[in-house]
Amino acid sequence: MTTLLPLAIVLACAWACTGARLVTDHQENRRALLSNGLAITPPMGWNSWNHFDCSINEKIIKETADALVSTGLAEFGYRYVNIDDCWAEYNRSAKGYLVPRKSTFPSGIKALADYVHKKGLKIGIYSDAGKKMPGSLGYEEKDAKTFASWGIDYLKYDNCNNGNVKPTIRYPIMTRALMNTGRPIFFSLCEWGDMHPALWGSNVGNSWRTTNDINDSWESMVSRADQNEVYAEYARPGGWNG
């Protein structure tokens, strides 16, 4: 059985922590760039990183999907099953495509997404707005199309190895690439609060990370809620502080 509590508690807090505002003219204007119709309420679900780090495989993801349903959490809105880092081979294919790690995801991400979807849930994946791990910088269109073809519903987009290119330049490229796929994919900006993404994130993504890492403790989660209080006015349906 996998651990469900860390992200579930954090995301459940998000609504109370960030506050919600009615749709404004600003939100209508942003749809020219971001119009996926997602994140009417804060996303709730599970992410692999906090508990498993890189020790993940398709069995763990399937067990988590099973657990969200069997525990009843899915009925309360916990529907995202998000695969974090270390799911991909370090090297791309000869044609430049991302490749699931054969040792841990032998069935491929598409088959795993199909399994999660049959449970009535949504599946997320991880990439990075940089050049390593492998990152998607310079591969935005190719990777977005790959994620869409696999049936991905959520993209967590990190901020590592970015060559000192500002996130306000890097992140909108992936926004457009995701929109060009025609598949609604929740876009989570994992920018660590480096350049105060609450101030500009609503034009780019469905959520934006405003703080450093959390750990698996109540004190850590509450402290992040307190840090987000200053950004409460920037949260609204369609875009949330993370």
Domain for residue 9, yes or no?
no
pLDDT score, position 33? 66
Pick the catalytic residue from 53, 194, 213, 216.
Answer: 213
CATH number for 146: 3.20.20.70
Based on the residue annotation, tell me whether 213 is a catalytic residue of this protein. Answer: yes
Q: Which of 102, 93, 90 is nearest to 57 (CA)?
A: 102
Pick the catalytic residue from 84, 85, 143, 158.
Answer: 158
Q: Which of 170, 222, 220, 176 is nearest to 195 (CA)?
A: 170
Domain for residue 202, yes or no?
yes
Q: What is the pLDDT of residues 175-206, one digit of tens each?
A: 999 999 999 999 999 999 989 999 999 999 99
Domain for residue 132, yes or no?
yes
Domain for residue 219, yes or no?
yes
Q: Give residue 48's pLDDT band: very low, low, confident or very high (50, 70, 90).
A: very high
Domain for residue 5, yes or no?
no
Global confidence as pTM: 0.87
Containing structural domain, residue 146: 45-241
Q: What is the pLDDT of residues 221-237, one digit of tens each?
A: 899 889 989 999 999 99
Domain for residue 11, yes or no?
no
Q: What is the pLDDT of residues 86-102, one digit of tens each?
A: 999 999 999 999 999 99
Domain for residue 23, yes or no?
no
**CA–CA distance, 122 with 124 (Å, rounded to integer):** 7
Please determine, for residue 2, whether its predicted confidence score (pLDDT) is greater than 80.
no
Beta bridge partners of 189: 157, 208
pLDDT score, position 54? 97
Please determine, for residue 61, whether its predicted confidence score (pLDDT) is greater than 90.
yes
Q: What is the pLDDT of residues 104-143, one digit of tens each?
A: 999 999 999 999 999 999 999 999 999 988 999 999 999 9
pLDDT score, position 180? 96
User: How many structural domains comprise the chain?
Assistant: 1
